[in-house]
Amino acid sequence: MLFFAPVLAGAQQVRVLSEVVDFAGEIGSSQRKTVILQNEANQSKTYLLKNLRGSVGSSQKVKICIDDQCFDPKKDLAKISLKLAPGEIYTDLYLEFELGIAETRGSFDLFFVNAENIRENFVVEARYEVASTSTKDFSHKDINLSEIYPNPSNRVAQLDYELVNPKAKAKISINSFIGNPIAEYELDPERNSLVINVTDFQPGVYFYTLFVDNKNVVTKKLQVKK
CATH number at residue 67: 2.60.40.10
Do the bridges between strand 89-98 and strand 30-39 make them parallel or antiparallel, or are there none, so unpaired?
antiparallel
In which band, very low, low, confident or very high, does the pLDDT at 57 lie, cut at 50, 70 and 90? confident
Say whether both 46 and 27 belong to one domain. Answer: yes
Cα 157 to Cα 133: distance, rounded to the nearest angstrom: 13
Question: Which of 91, 107, 131 is the last residue in one of the domains?
Answer: 131
Residue type (1 letter), 211:
F
Burial of residue 84, with CB atoms counted within 10 A of its CB: 0-12 exposed, 13-18 middle, 19 or more buried? buried
Residue 212 has pLDDT above 90, yes or no: yes
Cα 128 to Cα 2: distance, rounded to the nearest angstrom: 7
The DSSP code sequence of 94-113 is EEEEE--SS-EEEEEEEEEE
Domain that holds residue 143: 138-224
Cα 143 to Cα 56: distance, rounded to the nearest angstrom: 36
Say whether both 123 and 23 belong to one domain. Answer: yes
Cα 89 to Cα 85: distance, rounded to the nearest angstrom: 9
Say whether both 63 and 155 belong to one domain. Answer: no
Say whether both 94 and 22 belong to one domain. Answer: yes
Residue 10 has pLDDT above 50, yes or no: no
Question: Which of 131, 148, 168 is the last residue in one of the domains?
Answer: 131
pLDDT one-digit tens code per residue, 141-170: 999 998 888 888 888 898 989 999 989 999
Residue 50 has pLDDT above 90, yes or no: yes
Say whether both 76 and 23 belong to one domain. Answer: yes
Residue 6 has pLDDT above 90, yes or no: no
Residue 215 has pLDDT above 80, yes or no: yes
pLDDT one-digit tens code per residue, 59-113: 788 999 998 899 999 899 989 999 999 999 999 999 999 888 777 888 888 899 9
Total number of domains constituting the chain: 2
Q: Is residue 3 part of a domain?
A: no
Q: Tell me what percent of the chain is helix, strand and coil, each rounded to the nearest 5.
A: 0, 60, 40
Say whether both 124 and 26 belong to one domain. Answer: yes
More confident residue, 44 or 123: 44
The model scores a pTM over 0.95:
no
Q: Does residue 187 contact residue 168 with C-beta atoms inside 8 Å?
A: no
* DSSP H or E segment with residue 123: strand 121-131
Say whether both 201 and 151 belong to one domain. Answer: yes
- Per-residue CA distances from 212 to 102, 162, 166, 218 (Å): 28, 13, 11, 10
pLDDT one-digit tens code per residue, 11-36: 568 888 776 567 888 777 788 888 88
pLDDT of 105 reads 85
Say whether both 122 and 29 belong to one domain. Answer: yes
Report which of 204, 215, 214, 210 is spatially closest to residue 147, judged by C-alpha positions.
210
